[in-house]
């Protein structure tokens, strides 16, 4: 007992001596000692802590490119662990269904089981803080950072997690998106001074079956898209990026946007509608490009409205007269030293330069109303692999529209309409507008069919439907003929009016 007391007295004396010595030391020694102690504490905690942690951030190391593993985990947890979560969030989708889309709420911790091992997951939003005494929140490092998932597991399961569990998550993610994939429409906008993508579910109604275009031309485009989709090994063999460029050109209303929707439906690709007017420089353009996914269509619409300013600067000429206001929305520059703008070289690198190889299975689509205004460097072979002219509506395209809108393949007015369409330049959009039945015609038909007597209910119903369709077709086609004749007369008198005004 006396020996124990002596030990405690000796310990107290030693501590007192150490405290006196510590107080006499210079301040910089105190700072260095505190730094050493603070660095040793996590190591000591890690040694005694039986759990390990993996962080899966939404973006890469330099927050420059989206981390696909983050998307894989998000999809997997929503499918596998939704029943075990106590905090969820819901939103209505854009898929014409009333069922809400349910997903995990921020800071929701869920437990997954794999081969008898417990896996703790938590979605930590941006600027996440420690919340609650849970397995994950007790670990060090839960401080401010971008959105991320935290996976915690026992040390003895480390090999299982790395070799089996995480690969299983990725594999199930691929299976889920292959069977339940919803196409997305992305657009870029400025947020906190930076351009970012936002998206909605995309279900375009257009298909190649409903596209008003010559049948042989549609078949040619579909065969080209199919060949591209199967050309992974070919592009690797010849050393080219797996991409393809399409230039859609033609007057407004000829179906360029409809063609993009049909391509997205045919390939089941996402669509990125790139707005260059909200991008401040080439670096931001590259950042947006790297955030796009494979199996996507990247669209720049009305490229002539942007490129007309660029073309005139390159040639040192004045801008053409009578251009639309939208032609001056953005000012592109062909000088690389102009770092505050999107340059032509930056755009070309995005389409067909070094950065185009960062990703695969992408289609670039440019649309224009005036192909002659585009810089030749932008639309040369290799950048725009195919030029598709979206022309005025001719008889073959009209028959397709008549089949879609009126469900007819022949009519007594077809011959007259064919002759007028050969003489008049009118767009498929204008023709389709004339083929849509008006409400007042439906009312007249309903009153007429109410007079049908002496027939069974089924027979009367079928008769009413047939008469209604026939009357709608007669009225719509007669209206189209009248519209085309007026357009023909206007086109014939316009040159005479111009001559009279000049004289």
Q: What is the pLDDT of residue 140?
A: 41
64-78, 150-164, 452-466: the lowest-pLDDT one? 452-466
Q: Is 351 helix (H, G, I), strand (E, B) or coil?
A: helix
Q: Is residue 36 part of a domain?
A: no
Q: Is residue 7 part of a domain?
A: no
Straight-line distance from the first to the last Cα atom of the chain, in angstroms, rounded to the nearest whole number: 129
Instruction: State the burial class of residue 17 (Cβ atoms within 10 Å of its Cβ: 0-12, 13-18, 19+).
Output: exposed
Determine the Cα–Cα distance for residues 465 and 224; give it in Å rounded to an integer.
Answer: 41
Residues 342 and 450 in one domain: no
Q: Is 376 helix (H, G, I), strand (E, B) or coil?
A: helix
Final residue of a structural domain among 336, 354, 389: 389
Residues 113 and 61 in one domain: yes
**Burial 312-329, CB ≥16 within 10 A → b, else e:** ebeeeeeeeeebeeebee
Residues 193 and 121 in one domain: no
The pLDDT confidence band at residue 95, using thresholds 50, 70 and 90, is low
Q: Is residue 195 part of a domain?
A: yes
Residue bearing the bigger pLDDT, 351 or 369: 369
- Largest Cα separation within the chain, whole Å, is 130
14-28, 33-47, 346-360, 376-390: the lowest-pLDDT one? 33-47
The pLDDT confidence band at residue 9, using thresholds 50, 70 and 90, is low
Which of 94-98, 347-351, 368-372 ranks highest by mean pLDDT? 368-372
Determine the Cα–Cα distance for residues 445 and 253; give it in Å rounded to an integer.
Answer: 31
Final residue of a structural domain among 342, 361, 389: 389
Residues 197 and 266 in one domain: yes
CA-based radius of gyration for the chain? 34
Q: What is the pLDDT of residue 8?
A: 59
Cβ-Cβ contacts under 8 Å for 200 (sequence gap 6 or more):
94, 184, 185
Residue bearing the bigger pLDDT, 334 or 71: 71
Say whether pLDDT at 247 is over 90: yes
Q: Is residue 408 part of a domain?
A: yes
Residues 62 and 157 in one domain: yes
Final residue of a structural domain among 337, 366, 389: 389
Q: Is residue 188 part of a domain?
A: yes
Residues 194 and 161 in one domain: no
CATH of the domain at 348: 3.40.50.300
Supply 380's token pair.
């040369």
Q: Total structural domains in the chain? A: 3
9-18, 218-227, 240-249, 492-501: the lowest-pLDDT one? 492-501
Is the alpha carbon torsion for 10, 16, 19, 25 positive or negative? negative
Supply 163's token pair.
């070799």
Could you tell me the residue range of the domain that residue 91 belongs to? Answer: 50-180
**Cα dist from 112 to 84, 240, 293, 318, whole Å:** 9, 42, 28, 66
CB count within 10 Å of CB 386 equals 15
Average pLDDT over residues 10-16: 65
What is the per-residue pLDDT across 347-366, written as a single tens digit (0 to 9) for each? Answer: 887 787 777 777 788 999 99
Please tell me the total number of residues recorded for the chain in this structure: 503
DSSP state of 161: I
Residues 291 and 409 in one domain: no
Q: What is the pLDDT of residue 476?
A: 86
Q: What is the pLDDT of residue 146?
A: 72
Say whether pLDDT at 24 is over 90: no
Determine the Cα–Cα distance for residues 389 and 249; give it in Å rounded to an integer.
Answer: 5
Determine the Cα–Cα distance for residues 136 and 150; give it in Å rounded to an integer.
Answer: 8
Q: 384 with 415: CB under 8 angstroms? A: no
Q: What is the pLDDT of residue 384?
A: 87
Average pLDDT over residues 195-222: 88
Q: Is residue 500 part of a domain?
A: no
43 sits in which H/E element: helix 27-48
177-191, 254-268, 460-474: the lowest-pLDDT one? 460-474
Determine the Cα–Cα distance for residues 110 and 266; give it in Å rounded to an integer.
Answer: 38
Residues 242 and 378 in one domain: yes
Residues 361 and 405 in one domain: no
Average pLDDT over residues 139-143: 43
Percent of the chain past pLDDT 90, that is, above it, reads 16
Q: Tokens 């004289």 belong to which residue?
A: 503
Q: Is residue 297 part of a domain?
A: yes
Q: What is the pLDDT of residue 166?
A: 94
Closest CA to 118 of 160, 146, 149: 160
**Cα dist from 326 to 87, 181, 186, 277, 343, whole Å:** 47, 36, 22, 10, 18
Q: Is residue 28 part of a domain?
A: no
DSSP state of 343: B
Residues 81 and 173 in one domain: yes
What is the per-residue pLDDT across 156-183, written as a single tens digit (0 to 9) for each? Answer: 999 999 999 999 999 988 887 777 677 8
Q: 187 with 198: CB under 8 angstroms? A: yes
Q: What is the pLDDT of residue 278?
A: 83
Say whether pLDDT at 47 is over 70: no
The pLDDT confidence band at residue 473, using thresholds 50, 70 and 90, is confident
Residues 122 and 255 in one domain: no
Residues 110 and 252 in one domain: no
188 sits in which H/E element: strand 184-191
Closest CA to 291 of 55, 107, 70, 128: 70
Q: What are φ and ψ of residue 231, in 5° steps?
A: -105, 25
Average pLDDT over residues 103-128: 80
What is the per-residue pLDDT across 271-319, written as a single tens digit (0 to 9) for each? Answer: 999 988 888 888 888 888 888 888 899 999 988 776 434 444 444 444 4
Q: What is the pLDDT of residue 325?
A: 39
The pLDDT confidence band at residue 343, using thresholds 50, 70 and 90, is confident
Q: Tokens 């939208």 belong to which residue?
A: 326
């Amino acid at each position: 007992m006396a020996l124990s007391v002596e030990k405690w007295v000796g310990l107290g004396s030693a501590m007192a001596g150490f405290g006196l010595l510590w107080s006499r030391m210079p301040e910089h020694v105190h700072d260095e000692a505190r730094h050493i102690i603070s660095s040793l504490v996590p190591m000591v905690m890690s040694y005694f802590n039986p759990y390990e942690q993996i962080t899966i951030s939404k973006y890469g190391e330099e927050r420059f490119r989206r981390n696909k593993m983050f998307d894989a985990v998000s999809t997997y947890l929503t499918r596998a662990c939704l029943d075990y979560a106590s905090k969820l969030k819901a939103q209505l989708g854009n898929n014409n269904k009333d069922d809400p889309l349910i997903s995990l709420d921020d800071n929701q911790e869920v437990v997954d089981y794999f081969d008898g091992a417990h896996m703790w997951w938590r979605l930590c939003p941006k600027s996440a803080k420690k919340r609650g005494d849970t397995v994950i929140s007790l670990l060090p490092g839960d401080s401010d950072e971008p959105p991320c998932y935290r996976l915690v597991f026992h040390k003895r399961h480390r090999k299982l997690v790395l070799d089996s569990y995480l690969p299983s998550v990725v594999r199930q993610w691929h299976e889920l998106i292959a069977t339940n994939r919803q196409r997305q429409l992305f657009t870029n906008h400025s947020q906190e001074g930076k351009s970012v993508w936002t998206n909605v579910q995309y279900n375009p109604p257009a298909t190649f079956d409903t596209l008003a275009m010559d049948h042989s031309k549609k078949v040619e485009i579909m065969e080209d898209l199919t060949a591209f989709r199967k050309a992974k090994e070919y592009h690797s063999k010849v050393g080219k990026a797996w991409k393809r460029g399409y230039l859609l050109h033609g007057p407004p209303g000829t179906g360029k946007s409809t063609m993009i929707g049909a391509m997205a439906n045919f390939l089941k690709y996402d669509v990125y509608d790139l707005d260059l007017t909200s991008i401040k420089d080439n670096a931001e353009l590259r950042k947006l490009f790297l955030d796009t996914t494979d199996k996507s269509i990247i669209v720049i619409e009305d490229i002539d409205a942007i490129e007309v300013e660029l073309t005139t600067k390159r040639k040192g000429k004045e801008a053409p007269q009578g251009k639309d206001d939208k032609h001056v929305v953005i000012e592109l520059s062909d000088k690389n030293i102009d770092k505050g703008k999107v340059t032509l070289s930056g755009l070309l690198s995005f389409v067909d330069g070094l950065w185009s190889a960062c990703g695969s299975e992408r289609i670039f689509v440019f649309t224009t109303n005036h192909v002659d205004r585009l810089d030749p460097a932008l639309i040369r072979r290799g950048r725009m692999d195919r030029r598709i002219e979206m022309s005025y509506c001719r008889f073959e395209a009209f028959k397709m529209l008549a089949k879609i809108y009126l469900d007819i393949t022949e009519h007594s007015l077809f011959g007259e309409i064919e002759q007028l369409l050969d003489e008049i330049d009118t767009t498929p959009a204008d023709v389709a507008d004339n083929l849509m039945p008006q409400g007042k015609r439906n009312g007249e038909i309903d009153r007429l069919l109410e007079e049908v007597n002496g027939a069974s209910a089924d027979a009367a119903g079928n008769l009413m439907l047939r008469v209604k369709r026939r009357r709608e077709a007669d009225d719509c086609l007669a209206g189209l003929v009248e519209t085309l004749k007026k357009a023909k007369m206007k086109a014939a008198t316009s040159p005479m009016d111009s001559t009279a005004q000049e004289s």
